Structure 1
Amino acid sequence: MKKKYVIPALITGVVVMAPAMAEEEIVENESQWENSVDFGLSLSKGNTDNLLLRFGLQTEKKDGPDAYFGSASYKYGEEESAATQDEILGKATWKHAYSGKNFFGLRVDARRDTFADIDYRFSLNATYGYYWVDTETTVFSTELGLGITAEDKGLGNTTYLNGLFDQHFEHKFNENAKFYQSLAFSPRLDDLEDYRIEFEMGIETKITETIAFKVSFEDRYESRPAAGKEENDLKLITGLSYKF
């Protein structure tokens, strides 16, 4: 149960501490954090009883050369009163742009998934990347990183060095709709056949000034999952997002 509180603590720590690594700059009009709370619920009763619940928090800010992002989510599912999903995810990034469209940064990822037999996984990466497109409506970036991962995947504690390739794309069609997509590839450096791929894409459409409808697709692939577990973990999620 304690691990559920470690993930949000790590996310908060990176978002708060990362600015200290960049040069201090005086900004007359400081940009504001953009925050959102996501909620999704699917319930069916009858011949089959199903329940799927998702709760998420997200915050981001772009302040001069610095960009910050943090998220945490929890998913829980039941089928015929038996639990089928129980997953916590966390992510925090800091990027500091310099020399045009180049940037460096830090990234923390965390995961606990009962049914994938991942008791915990924490990854800390230092990254270097490039903004291929960075406008008011479109952002496309790629980055390479090197880091360390600590995990317990059914066989006890393991710590190892990992590589990282990350790609992110986001486009605002107008004031009311946007599309986002990301891809991360992380191999274990002492065994390149042991790697994971995380893919996500989604569409968000405003219903009101503060409420949006979201549809997202996630695919988490483990080349060497825990014993008896599937390599692919696919999820299609719909829900509402409240922005503040």
Structure 2
Amino acid sequence: AQESFAEEFKLINGDQITGKVIKETEEVLFVETKAIGTVALKKEFLVPEKIVEELESLKEEREKVSLWQKKVSFGYNVVSGNTEETQFSGTFEILRKTEADQWEAKIDSYIASANTKENARKFNGFLRHVFNLGDQDQWNIFTKLEGDQDRFANIAYRSIPSFGVGYWFIKEADFKATIDAALGYEYTKYRDGSPTDKEMVVVPHGYIEKKLFENIKISQNLTLYPSLKDTAKYRFHSETALENSISKNISFKISFIDDYNSIPKGKSKKNDTRLISSINYSF
């Protein structure tokens, strides 16, 4: 019985009627519906079938496009006077999201110099796959591969493959809050020839975002890397950001980033902070 009422008729005013054609003339369709019985539809008020097909096709294409979200950020600061300083930062992010899962990747770069002498060069990024559990999308499991290089922190390269579980407390347009935790294996090779570190780490992470005004939001992103072998050894990465949307695709962002290492190798300092202003373009 359900199949006999599967045909849909779209009207030019936006209404839609589902039912079965029981009679047709040159000007009118007589449609039997479950809810209101037989309805007479003048053909002149129906959206042509060809247009309906084109609209459905366009809708499907838009849904395919909306699966992908991409963002490029660029920051460049110049300070002159007693000290000549330049800072460059660049970020590329890509996200593919469906109802069941999502893929996301991010690459960050930061280069700075003072009096024409380079004093910072950082590269980091990750690839992450998240699989949603249940219909509410609150719980999820994920796998992640992180990598970074920091010339002036004595890091030739570091990689951390990990597996974990996450939970969304709130996921609204004006407020978001989530936590997750993963178990990973950290491999770090140093530039000065120090012994390579190979150890298991726990990776707890938290993120919170709040819309302050219509076009302004603030966020806090914090990731910890405590060692399972040595309780005195840990790192954390913190980013506090204020972002102002200028248009649908363009925003201005100020970020304060703090990278801390409790036991750095060589002559590296424990704390490394940056204040970055950037222009973001989403597409």
TM tier relative to shorter chain: 0.7 to 0.9
Equivalent residue for 1:121, pick from 133, 154, 158: 158
Offset at 1:138? 2.4
Alignment correspondent of 2:228: 189
Equivalent residue for 1:152, pick from 189, 193, 218: 189
Equivalent residue for 1:216, pick from 234, 255, 279: 255
Q: Could you say what the CA RMSD is over the residues aligned between the two structures, in angstroms? A: 1.8
Question: Could you list the runs of 5+ residues in structure 1 that have no partner in the other structure?
Answer: 1-27
Distance 1:137 1:93, change over 3 A: farther
Q: Report the Cα distance in structure 2 between the residues aligned to 1:68 and 1:166, rounded to whole angstroms.
A: 18
Which structure is richer in relative contact order (CA contacts within 8 A, separation 6 or more)? 1
- Percent identity of the aligned residues? 24
Q: Which amino acid aligns with 2:201?
A: N
Residue-pair matches, total? 217
Q: Report the Cα distance in structure 2 between the residues aligned to 1:80 and 1:92, rounded to whole angstroms.
A: 36
Q: Report the Cα distance in structure 1 between the residues aligned to 2:199 and 2:118, rounded to whole angstroms.
A: 31
Q: Report the Cα distance in structure 2 between the residues aligned to 1:44 and 1:229, rounded to whole angstroms.
A: 25
Equivalent residue for 1:161, pick from 200, 220, 228: 200
Offset at 1:173? 4.4
Equivalent residue for 1:74, pick from 95, 98, 109: 109
Question: Could you list the runs of 5+ residues in structure 2 that have no partner in the other structure?
Answer: 1-59
Q: Which amino acid aligns with 2:156?
A: D
Alignment correspondent of 2:265: 226
Alignment correspondent of 1:97: 132
> Could you say what secondary structure the match of 2:233 adopts?
strand
Q: Which amino acid aligns with 2:204?
A: F
Q: Report the Cα distance in structure 1 between the residues aligned to 2:116 and 2:180, rounded to whole angstroms.
A: 43
Equivalent residue for 1:107, pick from 126, 144, 147: 144
Moved more, 164-173 or 114-123: 164-173
- 1:88 aligns to 2:123 (yes or no): yes
Deviation track 1:163-219 (CA, whole Å, cap 9, x = no partner) reads 111111123446633222211111121222211111112011122332211101111
Q: Report the Cα distance in structure 1 between the residues aligned to 2:104 and 2:84, rounded to whole angstroms.
A: 37
Q: Report the Cα distance in structure 1 between the residues aligned to 2:172 and 2:80, rounded to whole angstroms.
A: 47
Offset at 1:39? 0.8
TM-score computed with the length of structure 1 as normaliser: 0.82
Distance 1:109 1:53, change over 3 A: same
